[in-house]
Amino acid sequence: MIDRRIHAKLQDLEQRHLYRKLQLGAGVSFVDNDYLGLATHPRLLEAGKRALDLYGAGSKGSRLLGGHSRLFEKVEETVAEFFGAPAALLFSTGYLANM
């Protein structure tokens, strides 16, 4: 009974051209967070594997409550050096940075 109702609803959506299907796209995508293709870049993959061996796969907790690590310091030092700044502070999201 439920299957028939679901099937009928899906048919109705198809007839009204409102039915959506997921599609695999080819080429460059500007609508996701990997528009530069860095998620599959060989150097980044190797660096990620090394980081897993050194630091593990846990996301840690709040930096103030024990989630801080030398890795965070190293990344912030690198960012500060890149921008020629005395220090840098990274946030996990743009939303958090603007709070």
Query: pLDDT grade, residue 92 (50/70/90)?
Result: confident
Write out the DSSP string of the chain: -HHHHHHHHHHHHHHTT---------S--SSSTTTT-GGG-HHHHHHHHHHHHHH-S-----GGGTT--HHHHHHHHHHHHHHT-S-----SSHHHHT-
Angle between the 70-83 and 42-55 helix axes, to the nearest 10 degrees?
140
> How far apart are the C-alpha atoms of 90 and 56, rounded to whole Å?
20
Output the pTM of the full model: 0.52
Which tens digit of pLDDT belongs to each residue from 8-65?
999 999 999 999 988 877 777 777 788 788 888 999 999 999 989 988 887 777 788 8
Check residue 2 and give its pLDDT. Answer: 80
* Residue carrying structure tokens 């409102």: 18
